[in-house]
Amino acid sequence: MKILLNKPYITSKEEKYIVEALHSARHSGNNAFGKKAIDHLKGKYGFSEIFLTPSCTSAMEMGALLANISPGDEVILPSYTFSSTVNAIVIFGGKPVFCEIDSETLNIDVTKIEELITSKTKMILPIDYAGISCEIDAIMDIANKHNLIVMQDCAQSFGGFFKGKPNGSIPHLAAFSFHETKNMNAGGEGGGLVVNMPEQIQRAYFMQEKGTDRRLVLDGVKSKYSWVEKGSSYLLSDILAAGLLGQLECEDDILAKRKQVTEVYYDVFTDYKNAGKLNIYIPQKHIQTNHHAFWVVFDTSENRTKFMSRLREIDIHVYIGYLPLHSSPMGIKFGYKAEDLHITESIASRVVRLPFYAGMADEGLEYTKVNMQKVLKEIYG
Ligand SMILES: Cc1ncc(COP(=O)(O)O)c(C=O)c1O
């Protein structure tokens, strides 16, 4: 049996909605299905405003534009993330200031943020690794003290909560991914930008629509639209929004399946953690996961390699996770060296991301469990 790292999960709804969208007279962004998906999101999660975008990458670019990231502005973010997080600010001339991660959550270490703030700092850009929220309230406290904007990269954490509040509802800006590898898949690619700054919402509409005030024409305020702002095309096609709506309406069922995967992995790895052989994330009371992913930090990179290669031999796909950005070719161009962030480098050399998708609950979970148990026994006895 082949177990992939990710596999899109399809419910009974997407096909019906996508066909309906195809036969409608409107396929472009912010049409009937986009509006329904937005209403659903605002109704369920109480976001002030959410813009559906072609990806999380473009949502963060739109957020950086909205935050006026300009050449020379410094942005504090973890190095342990995807290139999209950093590119969102680099394309506008922003300078990344990489911060260490916490070795239990792999999210930004909030105790190390303040020492990185200078007169040029404009934004803090944390991520929610594997669906576990960063310490967003402490980050907001720091940001408010220093008058900074927080954009939370919630690519992986849609549907989770921090202290009872939905991920994305606390910072100034938050970006979700609805890519096929995420819990909610808009049909391959998709994203959303939450704007929790009421005074910026109209500007965001203009930026999403190529810098025009087309929104005012749609709202019947003006008869012709014109170029009023900087902007680009940050719209999700209505055909993909139809797919997203189908998934959103089945979110609870998808989550229940993903929870079963999490539980099986805790079953496999907890004894090894208790014996001090490896590390796994222990759930914290104030954080409600969306069961996006499961990762293991091995004691040595050699044991990681053994685990990965034994599973790969039998077609169970496990993955190393992110390569730190600070020691990547672009990070080095920004003046960083691998030694600058010891914890990030050490964790990145030992972490493994396990196969994780809703459909595993129906097929493949037991097979994966048995084989992982076998390999762990071979490694640790
Ligand atoms: C932390 C993080 N940010 C951003 C992205 C990019 O998301 P998208 O593919 O929707 O642009 C990813 C993709 O996995 C991610 O892990």
User: Which numbered atom of ligand 1 lies nearest the CA of 129?
Assistant: 1
Cβ–ligand 1 contact at 191 (below 6 Å)? yes
- Ligand 1 centroid–CA 332 distance in Å is 22
Cβ count within 10 A of residue 319: 15
Centre of ligand 1 to C-alpha 324, Å, is 15
Fold equal for 14-249 and 251-380? no
| Total Cβ atoms within 10 A of residue 333 | 8
Listed residue (296, 302, 308) closest to 269, CA to CA: 296
Going from the Cα of 59 to the center of ligand 1, the distance in angstroms, rounded, reads: 10
Domain residues of the chain, as ranges?
14-249, 251-380
Pick the CATH number of 14-249 from 3.90.180.10, 3.50.50.60, 3.40.640.10, 3.10.110.10: 3.40.640.10
Spacing, Cα 218 to ligand 1 middle (Å): 31
Give the model's pLDDT for residue 376: 98
What pLDDT was estimated at residue 120?
98
Q: Note the pLDDT of residue 309.
A: 98
Architecture of domain 251-380: Alpha-Beta Complex (3.90)
CA 138 / ligand 1 centre spacing (Å): 23
What residue has token string 């991520």? 127
pLDDT value, residue 240: 98
Number of CB atoms found within 10 A of residue 171's CB: 27
**Is the C-beta atom of 179 inside 6 A of ligand 1?**
yes
pLDDT tens readout for residues 71-106: 999 999 999 999 999 999 999 999 999 999 999 999
Q: For 90-147, give the secondary structure using H, E and C.
A: HCCCCEEEEECECCCCCCECHHHCHHHCCCCEEEECCECHHHCCCCHHHHHHHHHHHC
**From the CB of 53, is ligand 1 less than 6 Å away?**
no
Residues 298 and 304: their CA atoms lie apart, in Å, by 6
* Residue 89 to residue 103: CA distance in whole angstroms: 25
Q: What was the pLDDT predicted at 381? A: 86
Q: Is the CB of 6 under 6 A from ligand 1?
A: no
Regions of the chain with pLDDT less than 50: none
Q: How far is the CA of 360 from the centre of ligand 1 (A)?
A: 22
pLDDT of residue 49: 97
- Atom of ligand 1 at shortest distance to CA of 191? 10
Nearest ligand 1 atom to the CA of 60 is 4
The answer to whether residues 232 and 207 touch, using CB atoms and an 8 Å cutoff, is: yes
pLDDT digits (tens, 9 = 90+) for 147-171: 999 999 999 999 999 999 999 999 9
